[in-house]
Amino acid sequence: MTVLTTPASAVRLARQGRPIGEHIFRITLLSSLIIALGFLAMLLIYVVQEGWPRLDSTLWESMPSIRRPETAGVQSGIFGTLWIIGLTALMALPTGVLAAVYLEEYADKTKWYNKLIELNISNLAAVPSIVYGILGLGIIARWLDFGFTVMTGAITVSLLVLPIVIISAREAIRAVPPSIREGSLALGATQWQTIYRQVLPSAIPGIATGSILALSRAIGEAAPFLMLGAATLVRFNPEGVWSSFTVLPLQIYSFISQSREEFHILASAAIVVLLAILLLMNSVAIWLRNRFQKRW
Amino acid sequence: MTSGQRRLSAVATAALVVALAAACGGGDSNTGGTDSASQGTETNAAALTGEVKADGSSTVAPLTQAASELFGEEQPQVKVPVGTSGTGGGFEKFCAGETDIQNASRAIKDEEKAACDAKGIKYSELTVATDALTVVVPKENTWATCLTTDQLKKMWEPAAEGKIKTWKDVDPKFPAEELKLYGPGTDSGTFDYFTDAINGEEGASRKDYSPSENDNDIVTGVSGAKGGLGYFGFTYFEENADKLTAVQIDSGNGCVAPSVETAQNGTYAPLSRPLFIYPSAASVKRPEVAAFLDFYVNNIDAIAKDAKYIPLNAEQTAKLKSDLQALKSQAG
């Protein structure tokens, strides 16, 4: 495996040539890294320390309670979050990948409507999540009359992550060398066969990484759910897509604004659970990328 | 199977696992639900099902949430999700017919009445607890043990903006300590009530104070500044009595400290306020909503104490019960 790095001899030479400037630059780079990681470590230590007394199995075994915060859990939030993310994955990933395939493999980029679509996707990716909440409330919950259900939440979040999925899937498809496509076409495969058997499998590591990162973003969202009016105290798990629900970030938000100290500890413990789910998903992304990585 | 297809199917499997995990979650809760249902039918012949949707003020929410929890022990199959969209945001949904019970920390406004009328939503106003809006200063503050409503108005009225900067500006007897004001945001029912009671007009307040939707921020802000002053519901003061002092209020009849008694008998004026729920008349026809409201009203004392609220006095409790009966007979 060849990795492109600066040869050791060149580094030595550079050090001899401009020692002071080089050192300052290295220290600047290193301190930037320490700032980023340091704050993350501080956050983790703080949250774990705060939530430590409540980091036990009651956290996921019991329901939230306003009367007994010391034995309350966040089970309904964990299941609500899993339902939302599961449905979002089912809706946003196929749509996003197919849209990316169209834009990369079929669309004629000189046509004005394709340019318009591309421009709009980039813009949508930058739209604040609360705006999607307003859209979900006005169109999905009220106009389509889906109410404040798991389905409404999942569709709203799917719309929120769709542009990110499309953009990352396009990057992954673009990274597949044209020679692969040309080789396949030259051997007599049709365009769809080329895409299905060559391009998509090669692009999977990138698509998977991008998609899981997009879903991880969706897990942490509270703003669109606040706007959708998902209830904050829900003492039951969703039983289907038409059930009322709550999600972890909303529960954390409502715990933090309670007056009793026990709720603040519970909020910290729930943050640890949320971070654990996020880390789990990110490690799946890394595993998928390494498992399917292909070099040419 | 080519290597490419194997890869695709592996990813499809991964996606399925995620979906299954979610589905299994639902399955578990389903079986749990059925179990408790069968137990419920054995012990209680009138086991109800369905959903009672409550939304509205975050100040009143803990009360309805406590009621929902206690009710769940009797009727485990009835779900009572409680949202916290704020009094104003909650009325918007309530008057669109989207919720059954509206929690409110102030009475319904005229424009909200109009919105409800337009949709044909009939409702009734039930007083479920009392709150004493508490004005707090830090422990270091030794001069402001009692403030008159005029002094509070001088601090908070719109005309004070940019002019009343120190305690000395409020009253020459006070030290020249910088006045740092903290209060709830303008969407809050607490803000509406305080501005109405003190400044004489709902929503009229100076704007150069630190607003926060989270009352714990007000606790932190006031306890950290010697010249700090803020206001919020009585429960937040009770939980933080070690950091803050509650100011006595003089509305012309001498200084009165906020407490359970003074709020109940109404001497803590004008800052003791009723907390409401507004059940929709159409929803009361549904047996699960009627059962929940009956439970709420009949156990109101225990619920209020459990959620650390100031319970109603005997007279108010009797009125609450007759109000609910009136609503039920009106709903038919």
Percent of chain A surpassing pLDDT 90: 40
Q: Does the pLDDT of residue A77 top 60, yes or no?
A: yes
Give me the pLDDT at residue A108, please: 85
Which of the residues B9, B49, B65 would you substitute to probe the A interface, choosing the one with the greatest number of A C-beta atoms within 10 Å? B65
Q: Does the pLDDT of residue B41 top 50, yes or no?
A: no
Sheet hosting strand B244-246, strand order edge to edge: B210-212, B180-184, B228-232, B134-138, B244-246
pLDDT band at B250 (very low <50, low <70, confident <90, very high): very high
DSSP H or E run through A276: helix A261-292
**A294 vs B39, more confident:** A294
Which of the residues A67, A83, A262, A268 would you substitute to probe the B interface, choosing the one with the greatest number of B C-beta atoms within 10 Å? A67
Give the Cα-Cα-Cα angle B1, B2, B7 (nearest 5 degrees): 100
Query: In this structure, which amino acid lies at residue A157?
Result: V
- B 123-142: CB under 8 A from A: none
Tokens 């409790």, residue located: B317
Please answer yes or no on whether B51 and A244 come within 8 Å at the CB atom.
yes
Please answer yes or no on whether B65 and A87 come within 8 Å at the CB atom.
no
Distances (CA, A) of B316 to B31, B54, B118: 42, 22, 31
Q: For residue A217, what are the contacts with CB-CB under 8 A and spacing of at least 6? A: A161, A164
Residue A46: strand, helix, or coil: helix
Average pLDDT in the B146-151 region? 92
Query: In this structure, which amino acid lies at residue B14?
Result: A
B49-130+274-331 in CATH: which number?
Answer: 3.40.190.10
Please answer yes or no on whether B22 and A198 come within 8 Å at the CB atom.
no
Tokens 């509650």, residue located: B246
Q: Does the pLDDT of residue A65 top 50, yes or no?
A: yes
Q: For residue A20, what are the contacts with CB-CB under 8 A and spacing of at least 6? A: none
Give me the pLDDT at residue B32, please: 36
Give me the pLDDT at residue B48, please: 85
Residue B301 phi, psi dihedral angles, 5° rounding: -65, -50
Residue A132 phi, psi dihedral angles, 5° rounding: -65, -30
Q: Does the pLDDT of residue A8 top 80, yes or no?
A: no
**A102-111 pLDDT per residue, tens:** 999 898 888 8
In this complex, the residue of B11, B18, B306 whose CB is nearest that of residue A204 is B11
Average pLDDT in the B103-116 region? 91
Tokens 């009220």, residue located: A142
Question: What average pLDDT is seen over chain A?
Answer: 87
Q: Is A60 on the interface with B (CB under 8 A)?
A: no
Residue B250 exposed, middle or buried by CB count within 10 Å (0-12, 13-18, 19+): middle
Q: Is A225 on the interface with B (CB under 8 A)?
A: no
Nearest to A184, CA basis, from A174, A203, A197, A172: A197
Q: Does the pLDDT of residue B18 top 60, yes or no?
A: no
Give me the pLDDT at residue B33, please: 37
Give me the pLDDT at residue B332, please: 66
Average pLDDT in the A42-48 region? 92
| Residue of chain A whose Cα is closest to the Cα of B1 | A197
Q: Is A98 on the interface with B (CB under 8 A)?
A: no
Q: Is A148 on the interface with B (CB under 8 A)?
A: yes
Give me the pLDDT at residue A269, please: 92
- B 245-284: CB under 8 A from A: none
**B32 vs B262, more confident:** B262
Which of the residues B6, B20, B29, B217 would you substitute to probe the A interface, choosing the one with the greatest number of A C-beta atoms within 10 Å? B29
Helices (H) and strands (E) in chain B, counts: 14, 14
Q: Does the pLDDT of residue B156 top 90, yes or no?
A: yes
In this complex, the residue of A65, A89, A238 whose CB is nearest that of residue B69 is A65
From CA B219, how far away is CA B200, in angstroms rounded? Answer: 26
From CA B288, how far away is CA B80, in angstroms rounded? Answer: 10
From CA A217, how far away is CA A160, in angstroms rounded? Answer: 10
Please answer yes or no on whether A259 and B214 come within 8 Å at the CB atom.
no
Sheet hosting strand B101-104, strand order edge to edge: B54-56, B101-104, B272-279, B126-132
**A138-162 pLDDT per residue, tens:** 899 889 888 888 999 999 999 999 9
Give me the pLDDT at residue A3, please: 57
> Are domains B49-130+274-331 and B134-257 of this chain identical in fold?
yes
Question: How many Cα atoms occupy the beta-carbon half-sphere of B145 within 13 Å?
Answer: 4
**A98 vs A56, more confident:** A98
DSSP H or E run through B235: helix B234-239
Give me the pLDDT at residue B256, please: 93
Nearest to A237, CA basis, from A48, A42, A83: A83
Chain A nearest-CA distance from B70, in A, is 9
Give me the pLDDT at residue B331, please: 72
Residues of A within 8 A of B84 (CB-CB) are 232, 254
Question: What average pLDDT is seen over chain B?
Answer: 83
Asked whether the bond before B270 is cis by omega within 30 degrees of 0, the reply is yes
From CA B1, how far away is CA B12, in angstroms rounded? Answer: 15
Residue A249 exposed, middle or buried by CB count within 10 Å (0-12, 13-18, 19+): buried
The residues spanned by each domain of chain B are 49-130+274-331, 134-257
**B262-318 pLDDT per residue, tens:** 998 889 989 998 999 999 999 999 999 999 999 999 999 989 888 888 889 888 888
Q: Does the pLDDT of residue A2 top 90, yes or no?
A: no
Give me the pLDDT at residue A228, please: 81
Q: Which of A7-21, A68-82, A262-276, B246-260 has the lowest mean pLDDT?
A: A7-21
Q: Is B7 on the interface with A (CB under 8 A)?
A: yes
Looking at this predicted complex, what is its ipTM? 0.73
**B195-208 pLDDT per residue, tens:** 999 999 888 999 99
Look up residue B27 and give its two tokens: 């399955």
Q: Which of A5-9, A174-178, B321-325 has the lowest mean pLDDT?
A: A5-9
Give me the pLDDT at residue B30, please: 37
Angle between helices A19-51 and A261-292 (to 10 degrees): 130
Give me the pLDDT at residue A13, please: 62
Give me the pLDDT at residue B25, please: 41
Tokens 């895409």, residue located: A195
Query: What's chain A's length in residues?
Result: 296
For residue B180, list its beta bridge partners.
B228
**A121-138 pLDDT per residue, tens:** 999 988 999 999 999 988
Q: Does the pLDDT of residue B66 top 80, yes or no?
A: yes
Fold of the CATH domain B134-257: D-Maltodextrin-Binding Protein; domain 2 (3.40.190)
Residues of B within 8 A of A67 (CB-CB) are 66, 69-70, 306-307
Look up residue A47 and give its two tokens: 């949250």
Q: Is B69 on the interface with A (CB under 8 A)?
A: yes
- Contact between B244 and B222 under an 8 Å Cβ cutoff? The reply is yes
- B 211-240: CB under 8 A from A: 213-216, 235-236, 238-240
| Residue of chain B whose Cα is closest to the Cα of A244 | B81
Chain A nearest-CA distance from B15, in A, is 7
pLDDT band at B138 (very low <50, low <70, confident <90, very high): very high
Give the Cβ contact number of residue A29 at 10 Å: 10
A226-241 burial, b for 16+ CB within 10 Å, e for fewer? bbbbbbbbbbbbbbeb
> Is the model's pTM score more than 0.90?
no
pLDDT band at B126 (very low <50, low <70, confident <90, very high): very high
Pick from A21-25, A60-64, A182-186 the range whose average pLDDT is largest: A182-186
Residues of B within 8 A of A254 (CB-CB) are 58, 84
| Residue of chain A whose Cα is closest to the Cα of B81 | A234
Give me the pLDDT at residue A287, please: 87
Give me the pLDDT at residue A223, please: 87
Give me the pLDDT at residue B85, please: 83
Percent of chain B surpassing pLDDT 90: 40
Q: Does the pLDDT of residue B64 top 70, yes or no?
A: yes
**B69-87 pLDDT per residue, tens:** 899 888 888 989 998 888 8
Cβ-Cβ pairs closer than 8 A, A with B, add up to 136
Question: How many Cα atoms occupy the beta-carbon half-sphere of B233 within 13 Å?
Answer: 30
From CA B122, how far away is CA A27, in angstroms rounded? Answer: 69
Give the Cβ contact number of residue B9 at 10 Å: 12
Give me the pLDDT at residue A14, please: 60
Percent of chain B surpassing pLDDT 70: 86
Give me the pLDDT at residue A220, please: 87
Look up residue B236 and give its two tokens: 């937040």
- Contact between B153 and B199 under an 8 Å Cβ cutoff? The reply is yes
